[in-house]
Structure 1
Amino acid sequence: MRETGATSPATLFALADSRLPIGGHVHSGGVEEAVASGLVRDAASVEAYLRRRVRTSGLVAASLAAAVCAGKLDAHRADAEADARTPAPAARAASRTQGRGLLRLAKHVWPQHDWAGLAARPHLSTVFGAVGRACAIGPRETADVVVYTTLTGAATAAQRLLALDPAAVAACTVGLAELCDRTAAEAAGGLAALSDPLQDVLAERHCHRDMPLFAS
């Protein structure tokens, strides 16, 4: 049952904050392997990678989260849909690891909400949708958060790995704001069903890398 009460903008900012303690800072969204493979090497290639990630992984995850928030998918079905849209086992594992971290946090922040319907290791998109319901934000706002975190997590990893000028990376993310808005609106409109073979390959390659800096 959706809980009542308005959510302040500060709550949305907190959910989208990279400092949110769900383990996202140890996941690069495929950037580490992309850098190692020479696909991402400077600010221009970072921007290209971020655009691709927002329009694929970001769109899919946001659409699933929005559907859960709107009550169109229960947690079990949402996890199954996420598995079906994430061919790479490594990417599925990374999503479920972060989902578990967000669920742990959510139980502390909204203890009055019923979290019993979620699996022990749910997908991150599923938990974001449930969190949207718990703090009474809409599907579009939930999609906004998911798309934004998909962008900034990978951008921060690229900055760290390539020692890029933080101002250049910030300018890149600001420049992608309109794309994020369009993607979130599309995600809130219905489930997206697509995958990105490049990100699947990068995720699987990363599993075999010796002493990686990031978990994914």
Structure 2
Amino acid sequence: MARSALLVLADGRFPAGGHAHSGGAEEAVKAGRVTGAESLAAFCRGRLHTAGLVAAALAAAAALAADPVALDAAADARTPSPALRLAARKLGRQLTRAARATWPSGELDALAREFPKGAHQPVVLGLAARAAGLGALDAAYCAAYESVSAPASATVRLLSLDPFDATAVLARLAPEMDLVADRAVEAARRVGDQGVDALPAASAPLLEIGAQAHAAWAVRLFAS
């Protein structure tokens, strides 16, 4: 059952709001940093090893039953951009709604009461994984995959990129997703002894700057 639940949680059609977010790809396309499959691969690789690693570690820690309030504060501290913090909480609120309907859980109910406007999405993802009977590595894989699948999917729409090429980018990143998921779980397991400071704080300044610029656009296709 857990393996099937992982497929449901990681499915891009799961109603968690991710389809409305480009993971920074829309701003990167307009800035000329993503122009095709090769530059998309570089963008996704950078995002995977920075924002993706942080999200995967937070999700893994939540799946291991670390304090979600402390994890949410840790997510805030690792997200300098107000626009990205807002996007993460909107995604977290939508994921909370979807997960509570799919896998009813007292922990998810308590999180919804604690954060009525939404907790950070990776924290919710970890608790959703727990509710679905999944483990820390499953949660880390979901977060790592989301960090690259959102830009890849968005770029198909933004550049009319061949979907086969976008999917090939994701497939070729698979070994690195394995590495990131393993690193995330290793860090998450140290939270019990060392606190949230054990979690990675990999920085992606251009993503943060780009998010702030994107948030000010009068017209945009994606929310972030």
Q: Normalising by structure 1, what TM-score?
A: 0.94
SS, match of residue 108 in structure 2: coil
Query: Is contact 1:75–1:117 with CA below 8 Å preserved after alignment?
Result: no
> What does 1:37-116 correspond to in 2, within 5 Å?
37-71=31-65, 73-116=66-109
Tell me, yes or no, if structure 1 residue 8 matches structure 2 residue 33: no
The residue type equivalent to 1:35 in the other structure is V
Whether contact under 8 Å (2:89, 2:119) holds in the other structure is yes
Q: Percent identity?
A: 43
TM-superposed CA distance for 1:179, in Å, is 0.5
- Matched letter for residue 26 of structure 1: A
Q: Matches of 2:36 and 2:102 in 1, distance apart?
A: 39
Task: Name the CA distance, whole Å, in 2 between partners of 1:159 and 1:53.
Answer: 17
Question: C-alpha separation between the residues in 2 aligned to 1:116 and 1:210?
Answer: 36
User: What is the rounded CA distance, in whole Å, between the counterparts of 1:30 and 1:116 in structure 2?
Assistant: 30
Report what 1:205 is aligned to: 213
In the alignment, the residues of structure 2 paired with residue 122 and residue 112 of structure 1 have an alpha-carbon distance, to the nearest angstrom, of 16
Structure with greater proportional helix content? 2
Counterpart residue number, 1:135: 132
Q: 2: CA distance between counterparts of 1:36 and 1:174?
A: 25
Q: What stretches of structure 2 of length at least 5 have no aligned partner?
A: 188-198
2:136 maps to a residue whose letter is: P
Amino acid at match of 1:76: V
Q: Is this contact kept in 1: 2:2–2:134, CA < 8 A?
A: no
Code of the residue aligned with 1:163 in structure 2: it is S
1:176 aligned residue (173, 195, 199): 173
In 2, the alpha carbon distance for the partners of 1:114 and 1:62 equals 19
Return the alpha-carbon distance in structure 1 between the equivalents of residues 154 and 133 of structure 2: 31
Letter in 2 for 1:37: A
User: For the Cα contact (< 8 Å) 1:140–1:184, is it kept in 2?
Assistant: yes
State the distance in 2 between where 1:208 and 1:55 align.
27
- Are the equivalent residues in 1 in contact too, given 2:41–2:169 (CA < 8 A)? yes
C-alpha deviation, 1:209, in angstroms: 1.1
Counterpart CA distance in 2 for 1:53 and 1:176 is 11
Q: What secondary structure is seen at the aligned counterpart in 2 of 1:41? A: coil
Q: How many residues align?
A: 209
What is the RMSD of the two structures over their aligned residues, measured on CA atoms? 1.1
Contact 1:86 1:92 in 2 (8 A): yes
TM-score normalised by length of structure 2? 0.90
Q: Which runs of 5+ in 1 are unaligned?
A: 1-6
